[in-house]
Structures are given as structure tokens and as C-alpha cells.
A and B are shown apart, each in its own frame.
Chain A
């Protein structure tokens, strides 16, 4: 769920961009370090970004009968880590804004914060906690992918509520309104993306587990 171009007031665009900047700076620093240590990873990360972009063009059937698209944030975070995925997510959002008119340049900071940062860090936290407490891999993957989608949707609703507080209910009332309006599409989408992520990982495990693990060592943990 991306906030469209020009929808947020200028002060909020600047504020959310400033909030996203430290995370992106950290991500770029880690990205630079990784590329210095392992120059071959450059092309792999480019491929991951291209994959995340193309995922957004896949239609995902939703239980309400509508269609939406997966974000790939949960999937990418498990394999690449949250810092790098936040930068990859930001680049994907940039291309979505320019080549698909999805999201926007002025709202790039806000969308980065909700999807690339809140989404990937929440997915990472859920994945780590799930593995630490010994949940089955597929359950943890489902939770990481679907709850990170829900985190994105909640942060976006909060961003909209802060920009447009309700005349009667204030920010809390506006947050309930936006959460309610977008829940129709976003909650089924989160469940669908969780199922999709598990199915994709199962297919990769059964058909190309060794090949993927050879390129992405993190896949070994998912493949157990």
C-alpha cells in the first residue's frame, strides 16, 4: 500500500524523508561494505531489486475477490537482511513511482519508511523471534511475511492519520478510519502474501534448494 504522489503535505514529506534517512544511510553503509568485501554480490542485489519490482506486477488473488500484488519484503528480508532490503525496497519504490505511477517522489520518504523500513525490520524481528522460540520454518515465514505486510499497512494508516487528523476524533479517530477503509484490501493481501511466501520457499527448497543455497547462504536456514 503506497501513498500516492502529492497526497501528503510538504512538512510531512520532509519529516518522513528525514525519519527514513538514518535507516537508509545505515543500509547504504552496509551495502557498500558488502560490495567491497564481495563485489560479485553487486549483481545478485541488482537481481534481487529487479525481482522485487517484477513481483509488484504479479497479481495476487485476495479472499475478498479483488486483486493486489505482493511486496516481496518478507521474502527478501529473510534472505538478504533488513538493512540491505530497506535500500533495495527504496530503489524498487523509486522505480515504481517513475515507471508505474505507483507511489510517488514526494511520498518516497513516507513509503520507504512504511514498506522498506518498518516492513523489513518487522519481518526480520518476527523471523528471528520465531526461529529463537523454535517455531516451524513455514509458520515463521508465514508470520514474517504477513505481519510485515500488516506493519506496512498500519504505519501507512498512521502516516495518513497524522497528516489528516479527524475533526472530531483527532489522530486516533483518523487512524481507525484509515485502518478500517484499507483493511478490506490489506488484511486479505497480508494473508495471501504470507501463503505465497511459504509456497515460493517450498518450491525453491524442493526444486532448487542447493542451487539457491550456493548463491545465498541464508537460504540454508530457510531450507531446514
Chain B
């Protein structure tokens, strides 16, 4: 998923329109957090999904598969919300709660909408572009440098992780819990050493090229008209209006 999302962010139809897409996603996020969740959740989920899949051309399978992992957290915690727990006569009293189920429904819809917005952002805005937005917003340089360096390391180390795990798996390194724990520790130690070696080699290479203390990255060229910003702002405003109308009508 790591590579698929990153590759999609660099190749989708909107990759050169990061400004309006970021505005669109920020608007949708405000809408889903601020408007009545029963209406805003499904509306924002649909808008973000349609925008990502049909507008930006994000593969539907990637977009919807990415939602499966958070669904596990959602189901577990929703179960906890549906149950009430009180203390009476020195003991614990458990029961089912209609109010808790109602909260779980509202929270689930809000979370689904917000998750679709984040995935829409992650699949359409390349890292260099959102870092440029953060730099423009005044984020500290040290933090931005760290973000960029971590980003550069991720894929190299992930390749190493896959190679190590494949080799361990081929040697039956995960056949029991005890052996699996030892194999995982070996993989983590090897990855740590590789990350140190990689940092040392990167430092030497950059020093040879006159590196001082900055790693500037050119953001992708932008091809944006004012109309794109207007449309990016109008859709969340319209959805928020609709969500509040439906919410008050109930």
C-alpha cells in the first residue's frame, strides 16, 4: 500500500493541482467534523470517493482497500460504545445502550467520511507538494528537513524489509511463535544497521557534492487557474449547507 499510494499521488490526473486539491480536502474535513455527522459523513465520503476515483483517476481498488484496515479499529471501538458499564453495590454492571449505539453510528459515519478525505489527499497530492504547502505555512525548517529525510529513507528500508522477511520466510523463520519473535528481532536489528549504514553513505555522498544543511526539493510544476480554487471551495461549502439543512430537518 505504501508504494501504491505514493505512486498514485505522483501519477494521478490532479498531481499538478495540489493547491486546489488541498483546499478541497481541508474544506471537506472541516465539513465532516463540524456538520451533523448523519448527513455530513455519507455526503463527504461520497464526494471524496467520487473526486478521487472519478476525478483524479485513483484506482478504485486501491482507494477502497485502504479503508479495510481502519474498519477493524472502527468495529472494535463501536462494540465498546454500544455497551454500558456502571458501578453499583461494589460490582460492575454491564448492559446494552441505545444511546451508545447512536453515538457509535454517528462516530462511524464521521470517521468514514474523514477517512475518505485523507485517502483522497494522500492519493492525489505528492509529498513534495504538501511539503511545499507546509513550508509556505511557516513550518520549522528542521521539522521539514526531518520529514523529507524520513520520506527518502522509507522506500529503501522497505525494500530491505521485504528482502529480509522473504529470506527468513524461505528458511521457515516464522513457523512457531518463538522462532517468529526471534526472526522479527533479527530483521529489526538488520534494518537498524542498514539504516545507519545508509545514513552514513548518504552523508558521504552529499558531503562530496557540497552539502551544507539544506536539501531543497523542487515541487512539481503547478497548472492551476482561479476557477479551480473557486470550485474546490464551493463543493465543501455546498455540502456543509446540505448537511446542516438535512440535520435541522430531522
Contacts and interface: CB of A to CB of B under 8 A. Distances in A.
Contact of B146 (A45, A72, A172): A45
Interface stretch (A15-23, A46-54, A130-138, A147-155): A46-54
21 contacts: A4-B111, A7-B107, A32-B142, A40-B203, A43-B202, A43-B203, A44-B196, A45-B146, A47-B153, A50-B150, A55-B188, A57-B2, A57-B161, A72-B188, A91-B150, A101-B70, A168-B84, A178-B80, A181-B77, A181-B80, A212-B192
A162 interface: no
A interface, over-half SS: helix
A179 B17 CA distance: 43
Contacts of B165: 58
Interface in B133-161: 140-143, 145-154, 156-158, 160-161
Interface string B196-215: 10111011001000001100
B115 A173 contact: no
B84 A58 contact: no
B223 interface: no
Interface string A64-90: 000000101000000000000001100
B170 interface: no
Interface residues of B, number: 88
Residue of A5, A195, A212 with most chain B CB atoms under a 10 A cut-off: A5
B80 to A, nearest CB: 5
A31 interface: yes
A208 interface: yes
B107 A164 contact: yes
B231 interface: no
A200 interface: yes
A88 B195 CA distance: 15
